[in-house]
Amino acid sequence: MSGEGKPQRELDACCKDLLEQEENFALFEALVREYCGIGFFECLRSPENGYLTPAVWEESGDRPPALLCTVVELLHRAVEREGER
């Protein structure tokens, strides 16, 4: 038993799940960086005026959440870098 009253097997399984999630995130981040030239969270934190896609939102008149702006930005960057991979 652990100090929290859970069997050690449950804690080991929990740690294994966390490690797998961390590995999956690292793979996701590496793929985004390879295809887009910028990491997902790096792009999410970038000032919007540094984006390549602000005209999309100006033309539409919409003001979507930052997450959607980031996804569109990453897609745009991936398409621009298509010939580099």
Residue 1 lies in a domain: no
Residue 53 lies in a domain: yes
What's the domain range around 44?
8-84
Predicted TM-score (pTM) of this structure: 0.67
Residue 39 lies in a domain: yes
> Which amino acid, 75?
L
Residue 2 lies in a domain: no
What are the backbone dihedrals phi and psi of residue 51, each rounded to the nearest 5 degrees, phi first? Answer: -70, 155
Q: Which residue has the higher pLDDT, 14 or 3?
A: 14
Q: What is the pLDDT of residues 21-76, one digit of tens each?
A: 888 889 999 999 999 999 998 888 877 767 888 888 888 888 888 888 899 999 99
> Which amino acid, 20?
E
Q: Kindly give the residue spans of alpha helices, DSSP state H, lying in the chain.
A: 8-36, 40-45, 54-60, 66-80
Q: Which residue has the higher pLDDT, 76 or 16?
A: 76
Collect all residues with Cβ–Cβ distance below 8 Å to 7 and sequence separation of at least 6: 1
Residue 67 lies in a domain: yes
Residue 58 lies in a domain: yes
Number of domains in the chain: 1
Q: Are 26 and 34 in contact (CB under 8 A)?
A: no
What's the pLDDT at 38? 92
